[in-house]
Amino acid sequence: MAVRKLFILPGDGIGPEAMAEVRKIIAYMNAELGAGFVTDEGLVGGSAYDAHGQAISEGDMAKALAADAVLFGAVGGPKWDAVPYEVRPEAGLLRLRKDLQLFANLRPAICYPALSAASSLKPELVEGLDILIVRELTGGVYFGEPKEIIDLGNGQKRGIDTQVYDTYEIERIAGVAFELARTRNNRVCSMEKRNVMKSGVLWNQVVNETHKAKYSDVQLEHMLADAGGMQLVRQPKQFDVIVTDNLFGDMLSDVAAMLTGSLGMLPSASLGAPDAVTGKRKALYEPVHGSAPDIAGKGIANPIAMIASFAMCLRYSFNLTKEADNLEKAIATVLDKGIRTGDIMAEGARQVGTIEMGETILAEFKALSA
Ligand code: IPM
Ligand code: MG
């Protein structure tokens, strides 16, 4: 039987509650579907800081590197607002992305039919929405050097972040976007700010060259990132795949997420390059939502983004396509039946907590897998 190594990092806030529901799905798949998942668990973010003064320990980093896939909950919270910058909760996530070289962040924004009324946009604008944001994740202003605050000695300080992209970084993320577009509606929109940024000029050039060299069958269009943000809330269904840099991708994916009704709905996958020998990619799966400290521990968090992230893990890390389809179908069915957590509650629906939502989805998944 295949052994599939999962490393689980529930993190802070609602992370552990949401992850508990995924653990039930893993247990079922092992017991009934012979999935062969072997799991190990570690600490990340504030909980890791509390335990050993770091946002992730060396031991847990080694386990993450050795795993077939990492399942990540969420990090951060007001409790750690004052901890030193180097060991703040987010540093754990950024280190995982960097050390595992997870350069491609896939953030689908899908509007489940049952939820089109939950969007802040008119239902007809978002019904059937299916966008994939491909965000570059290991470069740009997040990691560029210098990154510092210097004392100018005249009572002034200067904060510096550096936006930097090399050709190969743009080429490989564009390649991922074009490949994925071929499995969808075959359209890519690349977003940058070439009107003010040199890195934007290069981004635009390299995307064009990559397109011409290998992917001319895919329809390519370019937008300035600010205009792209505007179009996302104006006419979101015009997009298929959007490819953009780390910082623009961070912002645009939050916008896209909210189009679907709730941040609590959206999964993500962060992938590395395929290994030259084994062909396997390093990967980390996490919900787009954060740790939501205000509702943590109350049992009311929406576990759907976490469960849908696990569905992406089944699809991208283990090629368990049928199981991934079934899990996504289970989520849609439960929503169709009018079962909702508080964040997506609607008139006439039945409000449930985290556990009941998780277990109802699991029950549907079991029925579909039987
Ligand atoms: C995200 C988050 C992270 C980011 C934070 C937690 C560092 O906002 O994954 O979108 O900025 O990338
Ligand atoms: Mg973000």
263 lines ligand 1 (CB under 6 A): no
Of the CA atoms within 13 Å of residue 188, those in its CB half-sphere come to: 27
Q: 93, 138, 285: which to mutate for ligand 1, most atoms within 8 A of CB?
A: 93
pLDDT recorded at residue 117:
83
Beta-bridge partner residues of 224: 192
Q: State the distance from the centre of ligand 1 to the C-alpha of 350, rounded, in angstroms.
A: 32
CA–CA distance, 314 with 346 (Å, rounded to integer): 30
pLDDT score recorded for residue 2? 74
134 lines ligand 1 (CB under 6 A): no
pLDDT digit string (tens) for 40-88? 999 999 999 999 999 999 999 999 999 999 999 999 999 999 999 999 9
Task: Report the mean per-residue pLDDT for the chain.
Answer: 96
Nearest CA to ligand 1 atom 2: 250
Atom 1 (ligand 1): residue with closest C-alpha?
250
| Model pLDDT for residues 139-171, shown as the tens digit of each residue | 999 999 999 999 999 999 999 999 999 999 999
Measured in Å, residue 288 CA sits from the centre of ligand 1 at 8
Residues by chain with Cβ below 5 Å of ion ligand 2: 250
pLDDT of residue 289: 87
Interval between CA 232 and ligand 1 midpoint (Å): 20
Read off the pLDDT of residues 82-105 as tens digits, 9 standing for 90 and up.
Answer: 999 999 999 999 999 999 999 999
CB 174 within 8 A of CB 206: yes
Structure tokens that stand for 196 in this block: 């003010």
Measured by CA distance, the residue closest to atom 11 of ligand 1 is 250
Vertex 266: Cα angle to 330 and 235 (nearest 5)? 110
**pLDDT tens per residue across span 205-257:** 999 999 999 999 999 999 999 999 999 999 999 999 999 999 999 999 989 98
- Ligand 1 near 8 CB (within 6 A): no
Point out the ligand 1 atom lying closest to the alpha carbon of residue 246: 12
What is the per-residue DSSP string for 73-133?
EE---GGGTTS-GGGSHHHHHHHHHHHTT--EEEEEEE--GGGGGGSSS-HHHHTT-EEEE
* Main-chain dihedrals φ then ψ at residue 205, nearest 5 degrees: -60, -50
What does the pLDDT look like over 307-332, one tens digit per residue?
999 999 999 999 999 999 999 999 99
Instruction: Tell me how far the alpha carbon of residue 28 lies from the centroid of ligand 1, in angstroms.
Output: 31
pLDDT for 364: 98
Q: Over the stretch 322-366, which tens digit does the pLDDT of each residue have?
A: 999 999 999 999 999 999 999 999 889 999 999 999 999 999 999
pLDDT at residue number 240: 98
**What span, in angstroms and rounded, lies between the C-alpha atoms of 71 and 96?**
11
CB under 8 Å to 75, separation ≥6 — which residues? 11, 12, 13, 15, 44, 45, 46, 55, 89, 90, 92, 93, 290, 291
Q: Is 97 annotated as a binding residue?
A: yes
Does 107 carry a binding-site annotation? yes
- The one-letter amino acid code at 100 reads L
Q: How far is the CA of 250 from the centre of ligand 2 (A)?
A: 4
The whole-angstrom distance between residue 14's C-alpha and the CA centroid of its chain comes to: 16
Write the pLDDT tens digit of every residue in 245-300.
999 999 999 899 888 877 788 899 999 999 999 889 999 999 988 999 999 999 99
Ligand 1 atom closest to 89 (CA): 6
Token pair, residue 360, equals: 């109802």
Would the annotation count 296 as a binding residue? yes
Q: Is 89 annotated as a binding residue?
A: yes
With a 6 A CB cut-off, is 245 part of the ligand 1 pocket?
Answer: no
Q: Is 293 annotated among the ligand-binding residues? A: yes
Quick check: 149 and 283 in contact, CB under 8 A?
A: no
Q: What does each C-alpha distance from 166 to 104, 106, 146, 198, 206 come to in angstroms?
A: 15, 20, 16, 11, 10
**What's residue 121's pLDDT?**
92
Give the integer Cα–Cα distance in Å for 242 and 130. 11
Burial degree of 231 (CB within 10 A; 0-12, 13-18, 19+): middle
For residue 1, name the pLDDT band (cuts at 50, 70, 90). Answer: low
Q: Please provide the DSSP assignment of 293-328 as one string.
A: TTTTTTT----HHHHHHHHHHHHHTT--HHHHHHHH
| Smallest CA separation from ligand 1 atom 10, residue | 250
Q: Please name the amino acid found at residue 256.
A: A
Burial class (CB in 10 A: 0-12, 13-18, 19+), 368: middle
The predicted-structure confidence for 18-39, as pLDDT tens digits, reads as follows: 999 999 999 999 999 999 999 9
In the chain the domains, ranked by start, together with CATH numbers, are: 1-103+266-370 (3.40.718.10), 130-259 (3.40.718.10)
Q: Does pTM top 0.85 for this prediction? A: yes
- Identity at 36, one-letter amino acid code: G
Catalytic residue annotation: 142, 193, 226, 250, 254
